Each structure stands twice: as C-alpha cells, then as structure tokens.
Amino acid sequence: MAAVKHMTDAQWREFVMSGTRTGKLAVTRADGRPHVTPLWFVLDGDDLVFTTYASGVKARSLRHDPRAARCVDDQQPPFSFAMIEGTATLSEDLDALRHWAAVLGGRYMGADRAEEFAARNGVPGELLVRLHIAKVIAFADVSD
C-alpha cells in the first residue's frame, strides 16, 4: 500500500476548483453548537469566496465568530480531500456580490446560466463571504 500523498499548494488549489465539487462549511453558532452545510465556492487568490443569505445560520454565526473551516472532498476512490481553515469577512457590496454570484452560477450551473444566478443571488439580503485561507491540510489518494 502506498503512502498517503500530501498535496502541494498548486495541487490542492487545482483539486478544489476541479469540476463542481461543493465544499462543506463548518461554523460555530453563538451557543457553541457546530453547523455544517454544503455550498458553492470559488477561489480568488488566498480567499475562498461564496455567498449566503444575510439572516441565515452561516451569516449569523460568522458575524459572531468569523473563524470557519471548509472541507472539499472527492467521494470516489482513491479519495482525496482538502480541509481549509480561515477567517471570514462579510460584505453587502452589491456590485461585488453580483459579480461573484455570476462567477459561482457559471461554475456550478454553466456559463449560460451565470447571469440568472447573479440576478437571483446578487441582491440585497445576500452577503458576499471571503474566507481568508490561514491553513490547509490536503491529501490525495487516501485509499491507495
């Protein structure tokens, strides 16, 4: 059996942006309970970017404690994953929100539907979230 392979910076970045993998975001609620949910994302330099509903659990939790973790995995053998930790900033800037909502819609639903998702998610009541990456643990071919 071969040893598990640590991914390099370039490898984990390529891995998380491959196809339409969602990431599972973990935040801590104000009462200390964990909250994990899958959602769409893209990388922008050293930030992981996504949108969320301004009054939802993710937004409320990130306002209380901006630290979060994100896991992106390949659920097919030989299995790989990247666990990303960081601190989130929240923005209501509608121009930026609409831009990134289009980028996200294009990644997950196709370029022909990007503007549809910009119109749906780039509106007041939504937030742009940037998780600034502080630590990454990433392994490839876990079951090899």
Cis peptide bond N-terminal to 78, omega within 30: yes
Return per-residue pLDDT of the chain as tens, 144 residues: 566 799 999 999 999 999 999 999 999 999 999 999 999 999 999 999 999 999 999 999 999 999 999 999 998 999 999 999 999 999 999 999 999 999 999 999 999 999 999 999 999 999 999 999 999 999 999 987
60, 71 contact by CB (below 8 A): no
What is the spatial distance between Cα 29 and Cα 65, in angstroms, rounded to a whole number? 8
pLDDT given for residue 2 in this prediction: 60
Residues 6+ apart with CB under 8 A from 85: 67, 68, 69, 70, 133, 134, 135, 136
Residue 104: name the closest of 94, 95, 115 by CA. 115
pLDDT given for residue 144 in this prediction: 79
